[in-house]
């Protein structure tokens, strides 16, 4: 079965200390010895146990990533860049989908701690703050992605949600829309997007009303349902700002089934600029998050925190970018 350091030592005729040294490329020794050990490692197909070494104080070289749902394209896309960057740095990542469920979050966070992950990236939004605080107290580097720091005093990386909401809404307003609904998520980030939505209206001296603000959880089905709710409320708005692409797609699909023409009868702006935004017809006008940059950055940050703890914490906001495609147009009079 799996050879251990002892097997290698015996086969190479040296002590385990020597083997350990060649594994870690530390210490000094005769070149011939090093070669001999390397050879026998290869011959035995020896693979040092990361668990054993982690137990002696070294890291586990694994990162934990908490997302709401890995099957949501936004998260799978960002997970991919996180994974790539992590591997470039010799780390792998355990992905957990919380389904925006506080119990699951708790369970997964504890699990990740028991697995001794070297750091945790939290891109999931429902929080049991106490749990996360525990993590921080226990000195496990933790950074928030797509989220504010929830009062934890950790660094957070996200897009400028306020600005994104502002730009999405301003675009609609500039096209003449005066009756704009917003479908947000429950997450904090959505709150900022709502504020941006409000700000854009206010700036133009436009009224807003609670009636135009809807909330749901990200999924195509929920997007459809939201549109149904909006329509039930009475007058159909001319524009909808959906706080993510998944919801926007749902709105598009439902609108079509209702016989609403897009963008003639209804303009839609999404958020995220995932792969979905390019596959709808018309293409989805949306607010792009710099997914790759954010993913890379978050692992850079967490790795530097792992290397030398107590880095200064920051709140990093990336610039959102309005991508105009076909789901928005000048409002019909």
Q: Is 40 exposed, middle or buried (0-12, 13-18, 19+ CB in 10 A)?
A: buried
Among 24, 102, 174, 279, interactor with a second copy by CB under 8 A: 279
Task: Name which of a second copy, DNA, none residue 77 binds, using a CB cut-off of 5 to 8 Å depending on partner kind.
Answer: a second copy
Using CB under 8 A, which of the segments 21-29, 31-39, 85-93, 162-170 binds a second copy?
85-93
Given a second copy, DNA, none, residue 199, with its beta carbon under 5 to 8 Å by kind, binds: none
Report the site for a second copy in 209-238 (rule: CB under 8 A): 220
DSSP state of 282: S
Rounded distance, CA 228 to CA 21, Å?
66
Shortest distance, position 25 Cβ to DNA, whole Å: 10
- Sequence-separated (6 or more) residues with CB below 8 Å from residue 136: 142, 152, 153, 154
Do residues 217 and 247 touch, judged by C-beta distance below 8 A?
no
- The distance from CA 188 to its chain's CA centroid, rounded to whole angstroms, is 14
**Beta carbons of 209 and 238 less than 8 angstroms apart:** no
Closest C-alpha to 183, from 221, 148, 223: 223
Under rule CB under 8 A, residue 276 binds a second copy:
yes
295 binds, among a second copy, DNA, none (CB under 5 to 8 A by kind): none
Q: How far is the CB of 86 from DNA (least distance, A)?
A: 20
**In whole angstroms, how close is the CB of 31 to a second copy at the nearest point?**
25
Residue 278 backbone phi and psi in degrees, to 5: -95, -15
Beta strands in the chain (DSSP E): 62-67, 92-97, 119-122, 142-145, 156-159, 180-184, 213-215, 239-242, 267-272, 285-288, 315-318, 321-323
Residue numbers 3-62 binding DNA by CB under 7 A? 4-6, 13-18, 20-21, 23-24, 26-30, 33, 46, 48-49, 52-53, 55-58
Nearer to DNA, 107 or 191 (CB): 107
Residues 129-148 that bind a second copy (CB under 8 A): 134, 138-139
Cα–Cα nearest to 208, from 186, 239, 244, 162: 239
- Would you tell me which residues interact with DNA (CB under 7 A)? 2, 4-6, 13-18, 20-21, 23-24, 26-30, 33, 46, 48-49, 52-53, 55-58
Question: Which residues of this chain interact with a second copy, rule CB under 8 A?
Answer: 1-2, 45, 47-52, 54-55, 60, 62, 69-71, 73, 76-77, 79-80, 83-84, 87, 92-97, 104, 107-108, 110-116, 134, 138-139, 220, 249, 253, 275-276, 278-281
């Amino acid at each position: 079965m799996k050879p251990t350091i002892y097997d290698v030592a015996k086969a190479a005729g040296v002590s385990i200390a020597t083997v350990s040294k060649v594994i870690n490329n530390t210490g000094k020794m005769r070149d011939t010895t090093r070669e001999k050990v390397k050879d026998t490692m290869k011959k035995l197909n020896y693979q040092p146990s990361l668990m054993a070494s982690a137990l002696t104080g070294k890291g586990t070289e694994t990162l934990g990533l908490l997302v709401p749902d890995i099957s949501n394209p936004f998260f799978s896309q960002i997970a991919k860049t996180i994974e790539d960057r992590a591997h470039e740095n010799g780390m792998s990542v355990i992905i957990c989908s919380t389904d925006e469920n506080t119990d699951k979050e708790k369970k997964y966070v504890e699990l990740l701690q028991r697995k001794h992950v070297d750091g945790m990236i939290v891109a999931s939004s429902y929080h049991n703050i106490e749990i996360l605080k525990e993590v921080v107290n226990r000195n496990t580097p933790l950074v928030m992605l797509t989220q504010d720091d929830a009062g934890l005093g950790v660094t957070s990386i996200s897009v400028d949600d306020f600005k994104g909401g502002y730009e999405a809404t301003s675009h609609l307003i500039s096209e003449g829309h005066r009756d704009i609904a917003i479908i947000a998520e429950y997450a904090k980030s959505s709150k900022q997007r709502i504020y941006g939505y409000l700000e854009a209206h206010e700036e133009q001296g436009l009224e807003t009303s609670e009636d135009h603000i809807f909330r749901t959880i990200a999924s195509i089905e929920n997007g459809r349902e939201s549109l149904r709710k909006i329509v039930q409320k009475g007058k159909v708005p001319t524009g909808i700002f959906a706080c993510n692409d998944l919801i926007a797609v749902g709105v598009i699909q439902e609108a079509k089934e209702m016989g609403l023409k897009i963008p003639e009868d209804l303009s839609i702006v999404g958020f995220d600029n995932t792969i979905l935004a390019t596959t709808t017809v018309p293409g989805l006008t949306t607010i792009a998050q710099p997914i790759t940059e954010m993913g890379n950055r978050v692992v850079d940050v967490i790795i530097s925190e792992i290397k030398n703890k107590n880095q200064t914490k920051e709140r990093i906001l990336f610039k959102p970018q309005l991508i105009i495609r076909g789901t928005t147009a000048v409002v019909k009079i």
